[in-house]
Structure 1
Amino acid sequence: MNSIELKSRAKINLSIDVLGKRVDGYHLVEMIMQTIDLYDIIKIKELETEEIIIKSNTSDIPLNEDNIVYKAAELIRDNFNIKKGIEIFIEKNIPIAAGMAGGSSNAAAILVGLNKLWNLNLSEKELKELGFKLGADVPFCIVGKAALAQGVGEELTYIKGLPDDISILVCKPELFVSTKEVYEGLDLKNINIKPDNKYLINCLENNEIELLSKNMVNVLETVTSKKHKEISDIEKIMNKNKALGSMMSGSGPTVFGLYKNEEDALKGKRELLKKYKQVYVVKSSEKGVEING
Structure 2
Amino acid sequence: MYIMEKAPAKINLSLDVLHKREDGFHEVEMVMTTIDLADRIELELLQEDRIILEAESRYVPNDERNLAYLAAKKMKEHFALEEGVHITLKKYVPVAAGLAGGSSDAAAVLRGMARLFDLRTTPEELAEIGSEIGSDVSFCVHGGTAFATGRGEKIKEIPAPPPCWVVLAKPPLGVSTKTIYQSLEVEKAYHPDTQAMIKAIEQGDYEGMCRYIGNTLEAVTVQQYPEVAQLKEHMLQAGADASLMSGSGTTVFSLVEQDVKAKRIYNHLKGFCEEVYMVRLLGTKEKLD
Q: TM-score range by the shorter chain?
A: over 0.9
Q: Aligned with 2:135: secondary structure?
A: coil
Question: 1:249 matched to which residue of 2?
Answer: 246
Pair 1:96-2:95 in alignment: yes
The alignment covers a number of residue pairs equal to 288
What do the CA deviations read for 1:88-142 (whole angstroms, capped 9, x no partner)?
A: 1100000001101000100001110010110112011111111111111111001
Residue 79 of structure 1 aligns with an amino acid whose one-letter code is H
What do the CA deviations read for 1:166-214 (whole angstroms, capped 9, x no partner)?
A: 10111111101110010010011112x3111111111112222122212
Residue 122 of structure 2 aligns with an amino acid whose one-letter code is S
Q: How does 1:196-207 map to 2 (within 5 A)?
A: 196-207=193-204
Take 2:245 and 2:156, find their aligned partners in 1: how far apart are those partners? 22
Take 2:202 and 2:274, find their aligned partners in 1: how far apart are those partners? 34
Question: 2:148 matched to which residue of 1?
Answer: 149
Question: 2:168 matched to which residue of 1?
Answer: 170
Take 1:207 and 1:66, find their aligned partners in 2: how far apart are those partners? 40
Contact 2:168 2:276 in 1 (8 A): yes
Question: 1:121 matched to which residue of 2?
Answer: 120
Q: How does 1:140-289 map to 2 (within 5 A)?
A: 140-164=139-163, 166-191=164-189, 193-285=190-282, 286-287=284-285
Take 1:48 and 1:208, find their aligned partners in 2: how far apart are those partners? 52
Shift of 1:288: 6.7
Take 1:261 and 1:183, find their aligned partners in 2: how far apart are those partners? 35
Take 1:208 and 1:288, find their aligned partners in 2: how far apart are those partners? 22
Q: Which moved more, 1:208-217 or 1:112-121?
A: 208-217
Take 1:48 and 1:84, find their aligned partners in 2: how far apart are those partners? 5
TM-score by length of 1: 0.95
Q: Aligned with 1:290: secondary structure?
A: coil
Contact 1:49 1:84 in 2 (8 A): yes
Q: Aligned with 1:269: secondary structure?
A: helix
Residue 124 of structure 2 aligns with an amino acid whose one-letter code is K
Question: 2:76 matched to which residue of 1?
Answer: 77
Q: Aligned residues: percent identity?
A: 38
Contact 2:215 2:245 in 1 (8 A): yes
Residue 22 of structure 1 aligns with an amino acid whose one-letter code is R
Shift of 1:51: 2.0
Q: Which moved more, 1:79-88 or 1:7-16?
A: 79-88
Take 2:161 and 2:253, find their aligned partners in 1: how far apart are those partners? 13
Take 1:84 and 1:53, find their aligned partners in 2: how far apart are those partners? 12
Shift of 1:289: 6.8
Question: 1:8 matched to which residue of 2?
Answer: 7
Take 2:226 and 2:125, find their aligned partners in 1: how far apart are those partners? 42
Gaps of 5+ in 2: none
Take 1:10 and 1:287, find their aligned partners in 2: how far apart are those partners? 13
Contact 1:143 1:287 in 2 (8 A): yes
Shift of 1:229: 1.4
Computed over aligned residues only, the root mean square deviation of the Cα atoms, in angstroms, reads 1.2
TM-score by length of 2: 0.97
Contact 1:241 1:265 in 2 (8 A): no
